[in-house]
Amino acid sequence: MTATRVEQLKRDTFRNPIVLCATGFGMGWFPWAPGTLASIVALFIWWVFLSGQSAWVQILVVVVFCFFTVAILGLFTRRYGEQDFPFIVIDEILGMWVACLLLPPVWLLMLAVFVGFRFFDIVKPWPISWIDRNVKGSIGIALDDLVAGGVTCVLAHGLWIILTYFNT
């Protein structure tokens, strides 16, 4: 995608619902670490609106948002190309929400989740790196963040079990 096309997308963000959603309501245009910004905002939204909800509500929200994310990314990739552009951050929001799934809203645990998710999303150890290289299109763009969030979630649950065991 040319620099001119990117600038056009940036100008059209609030007129184009596909770009608006894919960029996390414009967060993707933040000049420094837009994925990190989107992860922070996603964590805040989770903490405020979803952490106190039942397990079923949390799972339902994540599943629905997963389908929504893949649909938005599908529309975006058909129109603008299949590359995972840095300004696409809806997948970071999804990954962060997966990472927070069914965890208590304890600030130290949420900090660990944030750091863990960003680590897995940026470093991309196997199998995340394999997914990033080999799974194309909207599924591929979302799946590496989904797996990074899943790995983070499993590790965070383990950390929470250890912390509560030694805290009793």
The per-residue pLDDT for range 49-66, each reduced to its tens digit, is 999 999 999 999 999 999
Q: What is the pLDDT of residue 151?
A: 99
> Is residue 21 within 8 Å of 13, Cβ to Cβ?
no
Tell me the backbone φ, ψ of residue 88, rounded to 5 degrees.
-85, 115
pTM above 0.85, yes or no: yes
Other C-beta atoms closer than 10 Å to the C-beta of 26 total 15
Average pLDDT of 109-123?
98
Please report, as a single letter, which amino acid is at residue 26: G
Q: How many domains does the chain have?
A: 1
